[in-house]
Amino acid sequence: MMVNCCGLLTAYKEQVPLKSVVVELEVRDHVATVVSTLNYENKEDKPLEAVFVFPLPGDAAVCHFSATIGKTQVVAEVKEKQKARDEYDDALSSGQRAFLLEESEQSPDVFSLSVGSLPPGESASIRLEYVTELAVQADDGLRFCLPAVLNPRYQPQDSEGPSVQVTSVPASLVPYSLSFSARVSSPRPVSKVESNCPLDTLQYLNTEQTQATVKLAAGHKFDRDVELLIYYKDAHQPSAVVEAGQTSAKPGTLMGDPVVMLSLYPEFPQAVMSSASCGEFVFLLDRSGSMGCPTNNSKQQETRIGSARDTLLLLLKSLPMGCYFNIYSFGSSYEHIFPNSVEYNQKTMVKALKKVKEMKADLGGTELLKPLKHIYSQPCIQSQPRQLFVFTDGEVGNTKEVIDLVKSNSGSHRCFSFGIGEGASSALINGLAKEGGGHAQFITGTDRMQPKVMQSLRFALQPSVADISVTWDLPKGVSVTVLSPPITAVFQGQRSLIYGQLTGQSSEAAEGCVTVKYSLAGHPSQNQLHFSLKPAEDNGLTVHRLAARTLIRSLEMEERERRGEQDGGVKKKVVELSVQSGVSSAFTAFIAVNKGNGEAIQGPLVRRNVPTPDISMRVSTEPQQPPRDPFLQLISVQKASGCWVLDPALAAAMGKTSEEVESPKPASVNQEVWATILALIWLHGFKMDAREEWELLAMKAVSWLRAQNAACVAECVEAGNALLGCKVQKEALGL
C-alpha cells in the first residue's frame, strides 16, 4: 500500500515531475501531424534533471521541439548528436537550463528527452511535433496509434551499448493525465472514426463532411495505446499532392523545391487473382514470457500465446495441398518443428498441430535475429516462393539489425508481420513488412488475431508482382528526383507512397503523369495517374518533412550496410539533410539551451527517470484455458485435403450425438462427402460473422467435394439443413 504523503510519487517514493500530456492530431487525407505538449513541475527542494523515455511511431519524422520555462520560450535546433550532447553537458555544468531530445541508437521508435536543471518549484512545458504516414488496415481504415507504453526492451546477450532504463508503474498509478483531440480533413467524406478508447461524438465542420473533429472522452487513464481508425468514402483513389518549397530555402535543395507525394492503389484483373496453390510458408512465433499475458485488459481468459495457437490452427487448415511449411518458435533460444520445410499433407499437418498445442510462453526473452539467420540459411525450394509470417508482442533491442537482415534477404522471400498486444514496436513490425515486401498488422485491444492473419495469408497467396517500374512524364524544363526507395511489393488494394523532388519551372496549368508498370503472374499490367503541378494551398511543410524522413531512413540503412568502409560520406549527408529539414535522424539530436539571465542554478542536480505505464503486468502462469470454442473444435478435425470425416468429434462440435449425425445420411452417399457438406452448412449457418477466418479452408473443402463428383449433393444439403435447423442454399456453399 502506498502512502500518499506529498504530491505524486513513483513506486520508489520519488517525486515525478511530469504532470500532464496534451496531444493534438491533425490528419490530412493519410498524413498526420502530431503536436504533444508535456508539462513538468519540479516539486522538490533541489534542481532536477528528469529523463523521460517515450515511444513514437517507428516512421515518425520529429520536426519541432521547444521548451517554455516560466515566461521564456527556447526553440531547439537540430545538431550532430555528439555536438548536441556536449552542448547539453556544458550548459548543465555552467548552471544553465537545457533540453536534449534524441533517438535511441537501437530503434528509431524510442526517444529520450532530458530536461536539465529545472529549479525547485519551477514548471516547464515541452512542445514536440512530428509527422507520420498512416498505414492502411485490411478493412481500408487508416490507423493512427499514440503509444502509451514502452515495454522493457530486451537486449540480446551479446549486444553492445547501454540500453535505456525505464521504470514501469501500474497504469492506475501513472501520475500524469492525457488529453487528446483530432481534426481530420480529406478530399473525400469522412465516414467514421473509431477507437479502442471512448471518444466523444464525431463533429462535422462542413456539409460535405470532408472535415471533422473528435476528442478522447474525459477521464482516460493512460492504461493502453490510443488507437484511432479513420475511414473515408472511396478510400482507394490514387492521388497526388504537390507542396511548395520553403521560401527561405535555396532552390535546388530538398526544402527549397516543390515536393510531390503520390499514393497509388493498384487494382489487379480478377482473372489473374485466383489463389496460388504453392509456396513455402514459414511461421515464426514469439514464445517469450510476455506472450503469457492476457490478449487485452477486459477478457482475462485468453492469453496472447493461446490466441496465437488458435491462429496457427486456422493457418495450417487453410494452406493449399502441395505447398511446403515449417513452424519456428523463439524466445532467448529457438526451436523448429521440422529440421527443414516439409510438404504439406495430412501426416505433416497432424504432427505440426500436435506440437503447436503444446506451445507455451516459456522461452524467456525476445531473440529474433538467430532464428531469422537460421531460416535464411536454408536453401529456397524450386518454384515454391518463400513466405515468412512473424508473430511477436515485443520489442527487440537490435531492431535495426533485424530489419537490415530481412532487407538483405528481400529478393528471396516476402515477410508478413504481426504485432500482438499493446506496446509491440511499430518500428520492428512495420520495418519487417516494408523491407520484406509483405504486409504489417497490429492486433490490439479486443481485436481477434484470426481475421487479420487470414487477410495476410490471402495476400501471401496472391501471385507475386515482378518487374515493377515507375516512369514520369513531365513538361519541358521540369525534372524529378525520386526520394523513395524503389517499390518492391505490390498487393491488390494496398497503398504505395512515392515522394519526388521537382526541380525547374513550369506554367501554372502544367500537368505531370506517372505510370507504374509491373508484371503479375506473367501478365504485363500498368496504372497511370495524371496530376496538376500547381502546389496545394497551405500544406505547411508536412510532405517535405515526410520526404526528408524517407530519404534519411534510406541513407541510414545504406550507412549501416557500408559500415566497413569508413568514408563517412553517407553519414555526413544524413546530418546535412537532417539539419536542413529540421527532421530527426540517428546521427542528430535536438538541443535547446536557455542562456537565461546568466544566474547559475544552485545545488547539485538530482536525476529522476519518469516512469512509463507498464500495462502488461508480466504474467508468469497461464490462466486456465476457456472451454474450446465449437468453431475451433470443428476446424481442428478437418483433414489437410479439405474434407471432414464422420466421427464423434465432428458431431460433438456441432452439438449433436454420433447417432443424430449418422442416421439422416442419404444411403448412396459416402461418409466423408456427407460430413464435409454438414461442416460447410454449419459454418454458413452459424459462423457467418467469422467468414473471413474460414473462407480459405471452406474453398478447399468445396474443391475436394467437386473432385469427388458426388451424386445427390442437393439431397445432402436438404438433409443437412433439416438436421442442423439451417436454411443454407446449395449455391451459397459454392456447390
Asked if residue 622 belongs to a domain, the reply is no
* Amino acid symbol at 320: P
Tell me, yes or no, whether 197 lies in a domain: yes
643 neighbors 676 (Cβ within 8 angstroms): yes
pLDDT: which is higher, 730 or 137: 730
Per DSSP, the residues of 221-284 read -SSS-EEEEEEETTTT--EEEEE---TTSPTTSTTTS-EEEEEE-----GGGGSPP---EEEEE
* Residues paired with residue 415 on neighbouring β-strands, in sequence order: 388
- What CA–CA distance (Å, rounded) separates 383 from 278? 8
Residue 665 has phi, psi (to 5 degrees) of -65, 125
Position 609 confidence tier, pLDDT thresholds 50, 70, 90: low
Contact status, residue 677 vs residue 724, Cβ threshold 8 Å: no
Highest average pLDDT, of 45-59, 295-309, 352-366, comes from 352-366
**Residue 573 phi, psi dihedral angles, 5° rounding:** -60, -45
Going by pLDDT thresholds of 50, 70 and 90, the confidence category of residue 274 is low
Helices 713-724, 671-686: axis angle to 10 degrees equals 50
Check residue 582 and give left, alpha or beta (phi > 0: left; psi -120 to 50: alpha): left
Residue 509, classified by CB atoms within 10 Å of its CB into exposed (0-12), middle (13-18) or buried (19+), is exposed
Report DSSP state, residue 645.
-
pLDDT of residue 612: 57
Phi-psi region of 437 (alpha: psi -120 to 50; beta: other; left: phi over 0): left
Question: Are both 116 and 88 inside the same structural domain?
Answer: yes
pLDDT at 104: 79
Q: Which residue has the higher pLDDT, 579 or 223?
A: 579
Q: Cα separation of 639 and 629, whole Å?
A: 19
- Spacing of C-alpha 361 from chain mean position: 22
Q: In angstroms, rounded to a whole number, what is the distance separating the alpha carbons of residues 665 and 507?
A: 77
Give the Cα-Cα-Cα angle 68, 73, 79 (nearest 5 degrees): 100
593 and 691 share one domain: no
722, three cell numbers? 433439416
Lowest mean pLDDT among 201-210, 290-299, 506-515: 290-299
Domain boundary among 430, 446, 461: 461
- For the chain, what is the mean pLDDT? 82
Please indicate, yes or no, if residue 9 is contained in any of the structural domains. Answer: no
- Report d(CA 54, CA 103) in Å as an integer: 10
Q: Which three cell numbers stand for residue 686?
A: 452459424
Q: Which helix (H) or strand (E) holds 194?
A: strand 190-195
* Pair 427, 538 in one domain: no
Report the phi/psi class of residue 29: left, alpha or beta, with left for phi > 0 and alpha for psi in -120 to 50: left
Burial zone of 382 (CB within 10 Å; 0-12 exposed, 13-18 middle, 19+ buried): exposed
Q: Are 35 and 71 in contact (CB under 8 A)?
A: no
> Does the pLDDT of residue 366 top 90, yes or no?
no
**Is the same domain home to 408 and 282?**
yes
Q: Assess if residue 1 is contained within a domain.
A: no
The tens digit of pLDDT for each residue in 127-176 reads: 989 999 988 876 788 889 887 654 434 344 444 433 444 444 555 566 67
Task: Please tell me whether residues 42 and 143 are part of one structural domain.
Answer: yes
Distance in angstroms (rounded) separating the CA atoms of residues 358 and 19: 46
What is the per-residue pLDDT for 343?
95
Q: Which amino acid is at 431?
A: G
Q: How many domains does the chain have?
A: 4
Q: Are residues 604 and 500 in the same domain?
A: no
**What DSSP letter does each residue of 553-612 carry, written as one string?**
HHHHHHHHHTTTS---HHHHHHHHHHHHHT---TTEEEEEEE-TTSPPPPS--EEEEPPE
Q: How many helices (H) and strands (E) does the chain have?
A: 15, 34
Q: Give per-residue pLDDT as tens, 73-113.
A: 888 999 999 999 999 999 888 888 888 888 877 777 778 88
Cα gap 574→582, rounded to integer Å = 11
Q: What's the grid cell of residue 201?
A: 461524438
- Mapped to the 3 state alphabet, what secondary structure does 13-64 carry? CCECCEEEEEEEEEEECCEEEEEEEEEEECCCCCCEEEEEEEECCCCCEEEE
Amino acid at 679: A
Distance CA 680, CA 686 (A): 10
Query: How far apart (Å, rounded) are the C-alpha atoms in residues 524 and 269?
Result: 11
Task: Specify the residue for cell string 467437386.
Answer: 706
Task: Please report, for the domain that includes residue 335, its CATH number.
Answer: 3.40.50.410
Q: Which residue has the higher pLDDT, 538 or 584?
A: 584
- Residues 417-423: what's their mean pLDDT? 84
pLDDT value at position 538?
64
Q: How confident is the model at residue 46 (pLDDT cuts 50, 70, 90)?
A: confident
The answer to whether 329 and 362 are in contact (CB under 8 A) is no
For the residues 334-340, what does the mean pLDDT come to? 95
CB 179 within 8 Å of CB 170: no
502 or 298, higher pLDDT: 502
Partner residues linked to 143 by β-bridges: 135, 229
CA distances (Å), origin 141, targets 169, 234, 316: 33, 11, 28
Does the residue 626 lie in any domain? no
Closest CA to 126 of 118, 115, 116: 115
Cα–Cα distance measured from residue 703 to residue 683, given in angstroms and rounded to the nearest whole number: 16
Q: Based on the fold, state whether residues 209 and 263 are members of the same structural domain.
A: no
Within a 13 Å sphere around the CA of 16, how many CA atoms are in the beta-carbon half?
Answer: 25
End position of a domain, from candidates 402, 428, 461 = 461
> Does residue 473 share a domain with residue 409?
no
Q: What is the pLDDT of residues 628-668, one digit of tens each?
A: 688 989 999 999 999 999 999 999 999 999 999 998 988 88
Contact 349, 324 (CB under 8 A): no
Residue 453 near residue 430, CB atoms below 8 Å: no
- Rounded to whole angstroms, how far apart are CA atoms 313 and 308? 9
Q: How confident is the model at residue 616 (pLDDT cuts 50, 70, 90)?
A: very low
- Which residues in 626-640 are b (16+ Cβ under 10 Å) and which e? eeeeebeebbbbbbb
**Strand 413-420, strand 440-443: pairing:** parallel
* One domain for residues 283 and 247: no
Domain span including residue 531: 239-271+465-564
The mean pLDDT value for 544-568 works out to 82
Q: What is the pLDDT of residue 734?
A: 83
Residue 628 lies inside a defined structural domain of this protein: no
List % helix, strand, coil for the chain (3-state, nearest 5): 25, 30, 45
Q: Is 522 left (phi over 0), alpha (psi -120 to 50) or beta?
A: left
C-alpha cell, 658:
454420433
**400: which residues sit within 8 A by CB, 6+ positions away?**
106, 107, 108, 560
| Lowest-pLDDT choice from 307-321, 435-449, 607-621, 688-702 | 607-621
- C-alpha 59/C-alpha 133 separation (Å) is 8
Same domain for 380 and 244, yes or no, is no
d(CA 99, CA 17): 15
Q: Where are the alpha helices (H) located in 65-181, listed in sequence order?
A: 81-93
pLDDT score at 1 = 23
- Same structural domain for residues 170 and 303? no
Residues 694-723 have a mean pLDDT of 90
End-to-end CA distance of the chain: give it in Å, rounded.
65
- 541/353 Cα distance (integer angstroms): 52
Q: Which amino acid is at 671?
A: Q
Q: Is the pLDDT of residue 5 over 60?
A: no
Asked if the model's pLDDT at residue 608 lies above 70, the reply is: no
Q: How far is CA 580 from CA 66, 337, 542, 575, 708, in A?
A: 17, 51, 14, 8, 68
Q: Are residues 118 and 164 in the same domain?
A: yes
Q: Would you say residue 639 lies in a domain?
A: no
CATH of residue 488: 2.60.40
632 inside domain: no
pLDDT at res. 685:
92
> Coil, strand, or helix at residue 117?
strand
Q: Do 166 and 7 meet the contact criterion of CB atoms below 8 Å apart? A: no
Q: How high is the pLDDT of residue 112?
A: 80
pTM for the whole structure: 0.77
Facing residues of 123 across strands? 41
CA distance 12 to 509: 65
Answer positive or negative: Cα dihedral of 163, 169, 170, 171: negative
